[in-house]
Amino acid sequence: MIDIVRNAAPILWFSPDEKILFNEQGKIRIPMALPVDTPTTHPVVYYKLAYLYTFNKLKKEQLDYSPTEKVDLEKFNGMDIIYYYYFDRETGLGSHHHDIESMFIQFEVITDPLCKEGKFQVVANRIVANAHGNKWYQNSFLVDEQAFFPPVIFIGEGKHASCTDKNADGVYTPGYDVTQNINDAWGVRDIETSGILFSGQYQGWMTKRRTKRSLVAPPIHEGDRYFENYEVKFSPVEYNASYELRPYPNYLEIKVPKDLVRFMKDKKPHDWPVVVRGNSEYAVARKKQTADAYNSVTFAFRWDNNDNFSLALPLLLFKNVKAPMTGGWLYNKVYFGNGDAVDSHYTTLIGHQIVHTSSASRWLDPYLGMGYEVYDANPEKDVQDYYADFVSEIGLKLRVNIRHTPARFLRFLGTDFWGLRLGWKNVGFRDFRYSGFVIEFGAGVF
């Protein structure tokens, strides 16, 4: 098991201007050992065999594995390995003590009796670098023949958000280094420490070009599987910095300082690995788990011609749908009016739109919705005159991620995002029966 962990361990590539990168002797000091672990002057990266996938019905204790030593590949068809790296502080605006960031790799175990090196192949399918603890910000790509191993991970300056560098060229290229949810992916934003809100969308000038001097390698030695790749790509490395690889400590079994608790508490699973059973196909299990992470329902208060509330639902109700070509999302917007409104020749009863938005996580996004609206055109309270007509709406969505704000207690609603929508609605296709401003405020990405 440790051979798989070591061969897949990432190269961490820091900004050349990272303030806490070097110690007084000019040697790389990060990432560091956790305060609850044995101290060392060398960089440290932690690993966790987080999930094992099996269709075997045996009990957990009968599956014959040791998460830090061996895994019987005959009984499993997939695994997820997480790598964590700890920093004693962030820098820049909103800085704080302690920071734990991570990346993970999803593997499939393939039976191959013709394989010269053994009966099984452990194949990396997907590499994911986490950013700011939010799944919408993840930087990830599906592994193909162009992927470099050991995998290279950019570490953002000051705030330490992680991003994949598929071909290890030191330059972040959206659509290549990240191939999934490109509009939502955080990318590499080395300008975060300035505290200036430049753009909701990633821009190339936000990333500083990496140099070999700011690179930290895994414990890779001559004869290892990817040693030649490393030597050809990065030799000579001026400082030749490498980290020590350690198993991630079990949060439930150690005493954690109070100011570190919130950073370790959400790094689940704690009692690793978790065995996922009953899936005949590893790919099916992974696809479902990934899809579930991005499903979202938004609830908002809505003010247009009369006040009520609205819901945003995945386009296929249980599954979000990406918009072809644009990289954005399509979803359902259902809103309700006040049927008791009086003194109005137009009272909304219910509306439904299919809405397109450029992303689900940027702080500012345009949106466009089209659908139908059912309304009452009779101002008399006891007389109804129902009509249905085409409706269109266009505007801007402003989002705030509350995860690291005083309002983070509102996350119990199941989302890190709250937002404000400002739009203009027209009812009718050419001759508008009603036009006016729309304001919505509520929780959720859409």
Tell me, what's the pLDDT at 202?
A: 77
259 and 329 share one domain: no
Q: Compute φ and ψ for 117, nearest 5 degrees.
A: -90, -5
Domain boundary residue, one of 293, 313, 342: 293
39 and 143 share one domain: yes
Question: What is the Cα–Cα distance from 268 to 20, expressed in whole angstroms?
Answer: 27
Question: What is the Cα–Cα distance from 103 to 156, expressed in whole angstroms?
Answer: 13
97 and 212 share one domain: yes
Tell me, what's the pLDDT at 349?
A: 86
314 and 245 share one domain: no
203 and 269 share one domain: yes
Tell me, what's the pLDDT at 390?
A: 95
145 and 82 share one domain: yes
273 and 158 share one domain: yes
Tell me, what's the pLDDT at 86?
A: 96
Question: What is the Cα–Cα distance from 430 to 432, expressed in whole angstroms?
Answer: 6
215 and 197 share one domain: yes
280 and 404 share one domain: no
119 and 132 share one domain: yes
Domain boundary residue, one of 273, 293, 313: 293
64 and 114 share one domain: yes
Give start and end residues of each alpha helix (H) in 266-319.
282-294
63 and 136 share one domain: yes
Domain CATH for 424? 2.40.160
Question: What is the Cα–Cα distance from 49 to 245, expressed in whole angstroms?
Answer: 13
Tell me, what's the pLDDT at 118?
A: 63
First-last CA distance in the chain: 42
Domain boundary residue, one of 262, 293, 324: 293
Report residue 328 as tokens: 């954005």
Tell me, what's the pLDDT at 292?
A: 45
Question: What is the Cα–Cα distance from 60 to 286, expressed in whole angstroms?
Answer: 20
Q: Count of domains in the chain?
A: 2
Tell me, what's the pLDDT at 70?
A: 75
Q: Which domain holds residue 336?
A: 295-443
117-141 pLDDT, tens digit each: 667 788 899 999 999 888 888 999 9
Query: Of 167, 162, 163, whose CA–CA distance to 143 is shortest?
Result: 167
* pLDDT values of the chain reduced to their tens digit, one per residue, 446 residues: 778 888 899 999 999 999 999 888 888 999 999 999 999 989 999 999 998 888 776 666 666 677 777 777 777 888 899 999 999 998 876 678 999 999 999 998 887 766 666 677 888 999 999 998 888 889 999 999 999 999 999 999 988 999 999 999 999 999 999 998 888 899 898 887 665 554 567 777 888 889 888 999 998 887 788 888 888 888 766 556 899 999 999 998 899 898 899 889 889 899 888 888 765 555 555 554 554 455 578 889 999 877 889 999 988 877 788 888 888 899 999 999 876 655 566 788 899 999 999 988 888 899 999 999 998 877 666 666 788 999 999 999 998 888 777 777 777 777 888 999 999 999 998 888 888 999 999 988 88
